[in-house]
Amino acid sequence: MTTDPAFRVEVLLSFQRALWDLVTPNLRAVAVRPTYPRIEARFLYETVGREEHLLVSEVVRMWSLTSYRRLMSGSRLWVVPGVQSRELLAGEEWVYRRHEDEPM
């Protein structure tokens, strides 16, 4: 599978639109791996445990899927406490990152 440039842009913009009004203070970042025709997403939370976190990821997934009718192969919630750095996995791109003071 390869990453088509138009598909990549479509996916990134779709996820950014889907996140409008859904970002919670606990959400540190959202990473997406757009590999045509599949999409994987990771939601990095400082803590997870409330139903709200699962709901946000499902709503974002629903909105992004309906905007272009592609196959979403998965989304996952990850707990990445504030003391840990946020890292991209192979093939991922950020669609959202909250401001944090990163160590120099």
DSSP the chain: ----HHHHHHHHHHHHHHTTTT--TTEEEEEEEEETTEEEEEEEES---SHHHHHHHHHHHHHHHHHH--EEEEEEEEE--TTSPP-PPTT-EEEEE-------
- Residue 66: pLDDT over 90: no
CATH topology assigned to domain 5-97 = Alpha-Beta Plaits (3.30.70)
The mean pLDDT of the chain is 82
Q: How confident is the model at residue 31 (pLDDT cuts 50, 70, 90)?
A: very high
Percentage of the chain modeled with pLDDT above 70:
83
pLDDT digits (tens, 9 = 90+) for 33-53: 988 878 888 999 988 776 777
Spell out the domain ranges in the chain.
5-97
